[in-house]
Amino acid sequence: MRGITIIKDSNRIHTGDDLDLVQEVKEIDPPTIQSYFVEVPGRNGLLNLTKGLTGDVTYKNRSLKFQYLAIGKREDLLDIADLFNRYHGEIIKIIDDDTPDYYYEGEASVTTSWDNTLLTISLEIDADPFRKNLEITTVSTTLNNDVKHIIINNQGVSVSPTIEVTKEVNIIINDNTYTLNAGKYTISKLELKTGSTVIQASGSGVLKIQYREARL
């Protein structure tokens, strides 16, 4: 039975396969653009600064709404209602059966209502604007006091990768140079834009680059 997988900490449950819930409503709204316009004296119209700070469009949270029905013995339905009520106010992850390689994440709001042996569950998520890939992309290479050019293909929105090196490595990305000693780094100014990015690396040891793709 189609539905969603709900993940909280290490626990995961599917509304159809595990709970036999019938999905009545599924609404996954697109996120709203965070527009920023400025009125400039002597200028016609408004100045659009929506991309002014980062060069990218930014978005507000998106809304996810689901409604489920369950029919059965009241004591069984009480257990199901109890389970969902534990999600209320919590940060959870949602995997929709229609996009099984991605998850949404946000704060849950739960309401339940009864009609004899019929339970109605409404689940709303104030979610991050982007759905994220379940798998982390990893690109690694070994340097032997040489120079390598590494091509990173990011099919999602701009993301700051985690870079791990076992020895001192110099990297050049987007015309910026970084010298990294052995360790793990996340550099906020270092971004992988959508598409291909070439990273020049020199030094020795193992260089590992990891990032999680995210899409609208």
> What is the residue extent of each domain of the chain?
4-129, 137-215
Q: What is the pLDDT of residues 171-213, one digit of tens each?
A: 999 889 999 999 999 988 888 999 999 999 999 999 999 999 9
For residue 79, give every residue at least 6 positions away whose Cβ sits within 8 Å of its Cβ, in sequence order, or none: none
Q: Per-residue confidence at 33, pLDDT binned at 50, 70, 90?
A: confident
Hunting for tokens 């919590």 — which residue is that?
Answer: 90
Q: Enter the pTM of the model.
A: 0.87
Burial class (CB in 10 A: 0-12, 13-18, 19+), 37: exposed
Query: Does residue 74 sit in helix, strand or coil?
Result: helix
Class at the top of the CATH hierarchy for domain 137-215: mainly beta
Do 137-215 and 4-129 fall under one CATH topology? no
Q: Record the tokens describing residue 123, joined without a space.
A: 């689940």
End-to-end CA distance of the chain: 26
CATH topology of domain 4-129: Elongation Factor Tu (Ef-tu); domain 3 (2.40.30)
Parallel, antiparallel, or unpaired: how do β-strands 195-211 and 137-154 relate?
antiparallel
Average pLDDT over residues 105-125: 95
Q: Per-residue confidence at 38, pLDDT binned at 50, 70, 90?
A: confident
Least confident of 51-55, 158-162, 186-190: 51-55
